[in-house]
Structure 1
Amino acid sequence: MVFNVTTEDFDKEVLGFDGKVLVDFWAEWCGPCMMLGPVIEEVSEEIDDVKFCKVNCDEARELALQYGIMSIPCLLVFENGELVNQSIGYIDKDSVIKLVK
């Protein structure tokens, strides 16, 4: 399952989460984002020990600016509230799995 996260609940859902969280920064007009979305969904069904979230950059510009998102899709991996890994651009399923492991 992939959760939609907003500026209002980002701190609670991502930074306050005890464990790993993958956050997909995306936008509806972004072709590579639309290709990556189903990949993230598929991986979220297979991996139980990681929380998967999406942030729409058009609706949460403050978050995109805060994390220096210049290109999307951008995947950020947090562990216990700390940024531990990231990837920019479309990546395949195996690469998403490696990113969160």
Structure 2
Amino acid sequence: MIIPKSYVEIADLLEREDRLVLFFAADWCPDCHFIYPVMPEIEAENPDCTFIRIDRDEFMAMAEQLNIFGIPSFVVVENGKEIGRLVNRLRKTKEEVNSFLAGL
């Protein structure tokens, strides 16, 4: 999982042509801590995706621009275009995330 440190790094990543999964989270979030342990499995089961963990609080302007108010949330971008989102305030399971990604 890529963890960017700046908006410039995120902008560079978004220019890539591969399928990017923007995983918005925050370390204080209990629902994020629920999904953290299975994220390596989700990544392994979706090898066609590049996962990018974005700290929602550190990159609040980006989160607001993308209407990310509940975390954890997932936005999938391919060739610079959003192709799907799993964005809400609910806890997500491994099965739910994998099902979402498989449906894209």
TM-score for the superposition, normalised by structure 1: 0.86
How far apart are 1:28 and its partner, in Å?
A: 1.0
CA contact (8 A) 1:36 1:91 kept: yes
Measured on the aligned residues, the alpha-carbon RMSD in Å equals 1.5
Residue number in structure 2 paired with 1:73: 72
How far apart are 1:8 and its partner, in Å?
A: 2.2
2:85 aligned with 1:86? yes
CA contact (8 A) 2:76 2:84 kept: yes
Identity among equivalent pairs (%): 25
TM-score for the superposition, normalised by structure 2: 0.84
Structure 1 distance, partners of 2:24, 2:34, is: 13
Counterparts of residues 11-50 of structure 1 (less than 5 Å) = 11-13=11-13, 15-50=14-49
CA contact (8 A) 2:24 2:72 kept: yes
CA contact (8 A) 2:72 2:92 kept: no
2:93 aligned with 1:100? no
Amino acid at match of 1:44: E
Aligned pair count reads: 99
Structure 2 distance, partners of 1:18, 1:38, is: 28
* Structure 1, gaps ≥5 residues long: none
1:4-48: CA deviation from partner (whole Å, max 9, x where unpaired): 1242211211x2121211111111110001111222221112322
CA contact (8 A) 2:21 2:50 kept: yes
Q: As a proportion of its length, which structure holds more strand? A: 1
